[in-house]
Every structure is written in structure tokens, then in C-alpha cells.
A and B are shown apart, each in its own frame.
Chain A
Amino acid sequence: MNALETALFTQLTTPATPLYALVGTKVYNPIAPQPAALPYVIFAFGGGGDANETAIDRLELVYLVKALAATKLAAGQIDDELRARLHQQTFSVTGWTLLACLRESEVQLDEVVNGAPVFHRGALYRIKLAK
């Protein structure tokens, strides 16, 4: 959903925030350009859609938002700031009213890429929008 993804990008790349100090504008949806220097953030659509329960449109969507970094500490610090920027926060979504942005399931993945460790830390966020 373009309006929401634009809003998420704006929310995650707002200057003068602790998150911005860690990753700047290196926030990608859903795939980082390669090669991309660590650390960075990716967010990706995970599921959901229209509630279809009343005559007024309402959406409930899930997005994966996570940090990728060369150390667990760095990934965890970025993830803490992702939480601060998203969980229970309010931000503008063009054409919609944001009812809630809620952190739900935690996501962790550790892998080795080209001989170097990459640590993923993040979560699934449930986003509720209404007209």
C-alpha cells in the first residue's frame, strides 16, 4: 500500500532522531540495494488487508521491520529505536486515519553472508487504518 509505505519510510528516516543517527536514510522496502553497507533497516509487507466489516473502509496490515547489522549489539540498538519510532506511535498516512501501529512478534535471525556475520533484529508491526 503506497500511502502507508511512504509514511513508514518517512517515519523511519526522520532526521534528528536516535534512529536517524544510527542508520540515516538507509531504510529499504523490502530489499536493500546490493551491495549495501551495514547497518541498515528493511521493512516489508507481511500480510493483511481490508476488514470488510462496515461500509467504511478499514485496513489491518502487518509489516516486518528489522535492522541488519554486523553485531548483535548494533542490531539490537537499532531495533530499540525502531520500536521507539513505531510502537504505539502516531504518524500521518495520506488519505487514511492511523488507528494504531503496534509491535507484535519479535523477529531474530543470525546468518553468515560472504563469511561475515549479519544479525537481524526486529518485529512484526500491526497497523490499523481507517477512512
Chain B
Amino acid sequence: MGEYLGRNAVLTFGSITFGRFTTIDTDESVDVVDKSAGSDTHDSVLAGLAKGQISLNSNHNAGDTATWNGVAPGTEGTLVYSPEGTATGKPKYSVVAMVQNRQRKTGYNDLTRFSATFKLQADVAGTAW
């Protein structure tokens, strides 16, 4: 095994497959609560609520209203992220998420691109295809 490129990655949200993505970013974290005591020599924390988001940047295909409409803010669905593709044995990450934000950038004589941010509603379930 070695490093891998993003060219095989597949991201779906409900029935939408983002076939012209340029970048996919995942961000998971947990809130932390300070539990340091007065005599401690180093601070320490307790885990609080987990949270996360997945962000997508993509070119926008001409006439593709389904993709744009499918990422309307507030839309909830199952997000499946397969960073190495969907061949048997490759990792599969599933989570219910809500579209928090979408942006479309149109430049004169430039490609129209859009981005969407999905707010995770639960822990990501890591399985395999």
C-alpha cells in the first residue's frame, strides 16, 4: 500500500453523486471541558460533544439543477464518503448530515463552481464496501 490520489473518491448525498468535485474536506472534532485540578502541573480535558462537517468544492455542470437543488440549506440526508472508491474492501464512511451552507461562484468567462458544507448529525460510521 502507498499513498493514494483523490481521483477515485466518491461522495454521495442522498441520490446525488458529486461527479465533478475538485476537493472534499472532512473535519471532525470534539468539544473539550477543562478538568484540571488546582495541584495539577498540566491541564487536562474531558470529551464533550462530538461535531463535524464535510465540505465539497465542485465544478457545476451546465443544466444540472438537480445537484444544486439537492444541496439547498436545511436538506438532510445520508452522506456517504468513499475516499478510495467503491471497490470491495475499500473504506466507506456514512453519516446523516444536513446542508448548512451552499455557495455558487460565477466568473465571467470562467467555470462556474459551487461549494457545500454538510453539518454532521451523528458519529461517522466507518465500514467497508
The interface of chain A, by Cβ under 8 A from chain B, is 53-56, 58, 97, 99-100, 102, 128
Q: Which B residues touch A58, using CB under 8 A? A: 59
Report if B21 contacts A (CB, 8 A). Answer: yes
Contact B109 A55 (CB under 8 A): no
Report if B111 contacts A (CB, 8 A). Answer: yes
Contact B21 A54 (CB under 8 A): yes
Q: Which A residues touch B20, using CB under 8 A? A: 54-56
> Once bound together, how far apart are the Cα atoms of A100 and B112, in whole Å?
13
> Once bound together, how far apart are the Cα atoms of A54 and B6, in whole Å?
9
> Once bound together, how far apart are the Cα atoms of A55 and B7, in whole Å?
6
Report if B48 contacts A (CB, 8 A). Answer: no
Task: Tell me what chain A mostly uses at the interface: helix, strand, loop, or mixed.
Answer: strand
Contact A100 B19 (CB under 8 A): no
Q: Which B residues touch A54, using CB under 8 A? A: 19-22, 58-59
Closest to A54 in B: B20
Q: Which B residues touch A56, using CB under 8 A? A: 19-20, 59
5 closest Cβ pairs, A-B complex: A54-B20, A53-B22, A56-B20, A54-B59, A54-B22
**By the criterion of a CB under 8 Å from any partner CB, how many residues of chain B are at the interface?**
10
Contact B111 A55 (CB under 8 A): no
The interface of chain B, by Cβ under 8 A from chain A, is 7, 19-22, 58-59, 62, 109, 111
Q: Which B residues touch A97, using CB under 8 A? A: 62
Min CB gap B59→A, angstroms: 6
Contact B109 A100 (CB under 8 A): yes
Instruction: Select one of A53, A55, A102 contacting B19, CB under 8 A.
Output: A55
- Knowing A54-B59, A55-B7, the reply to whether A99 touches B19 (Cβ < 8 A) is no
Q: Which A residues touch B22, using CB under 8 A? A: 53-54
> Once bound together, how far apart are the Cα atoms of A55 and B22, in whole Å?
8
> Once bound together, how far apart are the Cα atoms of A102 and B7, in whole Å?
29
21 A-B pairs with CB atoms under 8 Å apart are: A53-B22, A53-B59, A54-B19, A54-B20, A54-B21, A54-B22, A54-B58, A54-B59, A55-B7, A55-B19, A55-B20, A55-B21, A56-B19, A56-B20, A56-B59, A58-B59, A97-B62, A99-B111, A100-B109, A102-B109, A128-B111
> Once bound together, how far apart are the Cα atoms of A97 and B109, in whole Å?
15
Closest to A126 in B: B109
> Once bound together, how far apart are the Cα atoms of A5 and B85, in whole Å?
36
Q: Which A residues touch B19, using CB under 8 A? A: 54-56
